[in-house]
Chains A and B, each alone.
Chain A
């Protein structure tokens, strides 16, 4: 066996390993798509076909005519967007202070924020539930918007602080010389420069809020207040039909809520990876 042969064999093996990894990663999502366009009589029959004989869109029509599901999409958008905006507003000024100012107590605050990023939400579920009830927020979307800050805000502050700290020191010196106040310096000089950080943390906050389940399943009750994860979880009970569990419709629902996220993630993949590693490596 000569060198070129050896090279081609090892190259082929390498691509086979790569293909196995790829299939392992994307197969469950492929299967959800396949099941979402397979008619029920084929879905609940053996042997299993890996591509539907007659692809149909009925399950998608069911999903989009299901009022509860549409309401859930709306609710999740409201909750995730509000949490993200609040985290960015509050977190940016906090991170500005931590990243650009030298003051006593800075380090303890940094440690506090860092420990908050590892905070287990279950440890405060009871107290938050109590709080939510006392403020009359039970079964209301603001109960989620406020409590989701527990995990979105510390992460936002932590990552943005490193973005602020990375900017050159001369920036505000120049701005101060020009007579700008610290606030003007922040939103006229700094904000445009940390825009990539805002996109990264904003996206991650949005995705985390969009995915949250523990608080949603605990604080919400009626169908008109459900978020997407709750709606997907409770699909079994809300739509019936001839079969016990409407797997085709559930899979159509999972595809509908997953595709926008995957598109977002693919567009911003470099930002997301750098945000995840900033959060993790420096965490």
Chain B
């Protein structure tokens, strides 16, 4: 069956690409397929789609968690409050800033590492294995590891930068100093995700056939020219997909901020703000409004990327 036959609206009975004589078989197959899919679809409906609809409808109410007070429809009140809620607006800014910085650095460093590891050398398998280590460490665990490394008195980072390398004049309280809080957390995310990005890009690099570089060399293209006019365009699909995944992860970041700063308002990303409203304050209605806003913001990014990708492949 062709793709177009499925995506175009069909007025009459489905003209399947299978000959009519098999229609009974087709019917039986279709029924069986839906039976096999039923458990998956039920789970998705039960834990994702229905809760999503519920979140949307609750965002127009004053619902509270575990409360006997009757729920009232409040119209757009929550939304009006939301756009003037400085804590929420600040959380958007924190999240967007965090996302741009981390995704940018992860891409540049990840591409660099992928290029280095893609060349032939002894111990390549070992290096590839090491790259999976940060990815395998639980996010909460890596946040704790770094929190200790950032310690203002006994932390190794201060020791390295102040006592060993003499780059800084005095110890810095990385986690509590407002100027270094966000960079400190970005460094953790970049450390954890860069090897992952590198592995995905490495997989993309490995499917590029080597002989086109041969041809480029024969034509007199130098390394930089080869990189710009061969590697980058051929790697584009892998780059795009990796960036989509990283951006989505960055926009819904929760764990690392929660462990490092708890619910300190100045450094709260959107997800922590929503969680705090729902769980700590039991404000199911307003918390749902925040959740819907996050969903829309993430949706905008997905659509933007998808459009870029469509334009790319068309």
Contacts and interface: CB of A to CB of B under 8 A. Distances in A.
A binds B: yes
Interface of A: 14-15, 17-18, 21-22, 24-26, 28-29, 31-32, 35, 43-48, 50, 90-91, 93-94, 96-98, 101-109, 112-113, 116, 118-131, 133, 146-147, 149-150, 153-154, 157, 182, 207, 210-211, 213-214, 217-218, 228-230, 232-233, 235, 247, 250-251, 254, 257-258, 261-262, 264-266, 269, 272-273, 276-277, 280-281, 283
B218 interface: no
Interface string B229-242: 00000000110011
Contacts of B284: 126, 129-130
20 contacts: A25-B131, A26-B130, A28-B149, A31-B156, A93-B36, A108-B6, A122-B275, A123-B294, A126-B65, A129-B278, A133-B66, A182-B32, A218-B279, A232-B138, A233-B258, A254-B141, A261-B138, A269-B128, A277-B203, A280-B241
A124 B199 contact: no
Interface stretch (B52-60, B77-85, B99-107, B177-185): B52-60
B30 interface: yes
A2 B178 CA distance: 54
Given A127-B58, A213-B140, A31 B145 contact: yes
B37 A94 contact: yes
Q: Which of A32, A122, A269 has the most CB of B within 10 A?
A: A122
B137 interface: yes
Interface residues of B, number: 98
A123 B16 CA distance: 38
A61 B191 CA distance: 30
A66 to B, nearest CB: 15
A79 to B, nearest CB: 13
A17 B293 CA distance: 43
Given A213-B258, A273-B199, A122 B144 contact: no
Given A24-B191, A48-B156, A281-B241, A127 B51 contact: yes
Contact of A283 (B32, B36, B241): B241
B261 interface: no
B149 A101 contact: no
B138 A153 contact: no
A86 B88 CA distance: 37
B259 A233 contact: yes
A257 B294 CA distance: 32
B271 interface: yes
Nearest to B31: A103
B275 A125 contact: yes
Interface in B8-24: 14, 16-18
B33 A106 contact: yes
A190 B34 CA distance: 19
B29 A101 contact: yes
Interface in B126-170: 127-142, 144-146, 148-149, 151, 153-156, 159, 163
B73 interface: no
B58 A126 contact: yes
A214 to B, nearest CB: 5
Contacts of A31: 145, 148-149, 156
Contacts of A207: 136
A258 B294 contact: no
A232 B140 contact: yes
B117 to A, nearest CB: 8
Q: Chain A at the B interface: mostly helix, strand, loop or mixed?
A: helix
A94 B40 contact: yes
B40 A258 contact: no
A213 B278 contact: no
A211 B39 contact: no
B5 to A, nearest CB: 9
A123 B191 contact: no
Contacts of B298: 120, 123
A281 B204 contact: yes
B89 to A, nearest CB: 17
Nearest to B196: A276
B304 interface: no
A89 to B, nearest CB: 8
Nearest to A247: B148
Nearest to A125: B278
A150 B48 contact: yes
B254 A213 contact: yes
Interface string B204-217: 10000000000000
Given A116-B48, A213-B254, A258-B136, A103 B34 contact: yes
Given A124-B51, A213-B258, A228-B138, A98 B130 contact: no
A181 to B, nearest CB: 10
Given A102-B1, A254-B145, A276-B200, A153 B132 contact: no
Q: Which of B17, B48, B274 has the most CB of A within 10 A?
A: B48
B43 A90 contact: yes
B270 to A, nearest CB: 8
Contact of B292 (A97, A123, A214, A229): A123
Contacts of A269: 128-129, 132
Contacts of B16: 102, 104
A133 B65 contact: yes
Nearest to B280: A218
A122 B251 CA distance: 11
